[in-house]
Amino acid sequence: MTATPEVDLPDNTTIRNPATGAVAGKVRWTDPADVPRIAAGLRKAQKEWDARGAKGRAKVLARYAVWLGEHRDEIESLLIKETGKSATDAAQELPLLIMIASYYIKTMEKALAPESRPAALPFMAIKKVEVHYRPRPVVSIIAPWNYPVANLLMDGIAALAAGCAVLLKPSERTPLTAELLLRGWLDSGAPEVMAIVQGAREAVEAVVDNSDYIQFTGSSATGAKVMERAARRLTPVSLELGGKDPMIVLDDADVDLAAHAAVWGAMFNAGQTCVSVERVYALESVYDRFVDAVVRDVQNLKMGAGQGFDFGAQIDDSQVAVTDRHVREAVAAGARALTGGKRPDGPGSFYPPTVLVDVDHSMTCMTEETFGPTLPIMKVNSVEEAIRLANDSPYGLSASVFSGDVERAKAVAVQLDCGAVNVNDVISNLMCTTAPMGGWKTSGIGARFGGAEGLRKFCRQEAVVAPRTNVGAGGNYYNNSPKALKRMNKLMTKLALVTPRRAAK
Question: What DSSP state is assigned to residue 74?
Answer: H
Beta strands 213-217 and 237-240, pairing class: parallel
Rounded distance, CA 55 to CA 66, Å? 17
Rounded distance, CA 304 to CA 308, Å? 8
What pLDDT was estimated at residue 139? Answer: 98
Q: Using 50 as the pLDDT threshold, list the residues of the chain that sit under it.
A: 1-8, 10-11
What pLDDT was estimated at residue 2? Answer: 46
Rounded distance, CA 83 to CA 146, Å? 8
Q: Is residue 127 within 8 Å of 466, Cβ to Cβ?
A: yes
Of 82, 93, 240, 278, the catalytic one is 240
Nearest 5°: phi and psi at 45?
-70, -30
Rounded distance, CA 95 to CA 102, Å? 10
pTM of the model: 0.93
What pLDDT was estimated at residue 505? Answer: 81
Strand partners, 168: 141, 196
Rounded distance, CA 448 to CA 210, Å? 22
Which residues, 6+ apart, have CB-to-CB distance to 246 below 8 Å?
277, 278, 279, 280, 281, 389, 390, 393, 399, 400, 416
Is position 432 annotated as part of the catalytic site? Answer: no
Strand partners, 461: 133
What stretches of 22-173 adopt beta strand conformation (E)?
23-26, 115-117, 127-135, 138-142, 165-169
Is position 418 annotated as part of the catalytic site? Answer: no
Q: What's the burial of 254, exposed, middle or buried (CB within 10 Å: 0-12/13-18/19+)?
A: middle
Rounded distance, CA 287 to CA 293, Å? 10
Domain chopping of the chain, boundaries: 12-241+450-460, 245-431
Decide if domain 245-431 falls under CATH 3.90.1150.10: no
Instruction: Give 190's Cβ-side CA count (13 Å radius).
Output: 31
Tell me which CATH code domain 12-241+450-460 carries: 3.40.605.10
Rounded distance, CA 396 to CA 393, Å? 7
What pLDDT was estimated at residue 490? Answer: 77
Of 6, 164, 274, 459, the catalytic one is 274
Rounded distance, CA 375 to CA 263, Å? 8
> Angle, to 10 degrees, between the axis of helix 53-70 and the axis of helix 93-112?
170
Dihedral sign, CA of 314, 317, 318, 324? positive
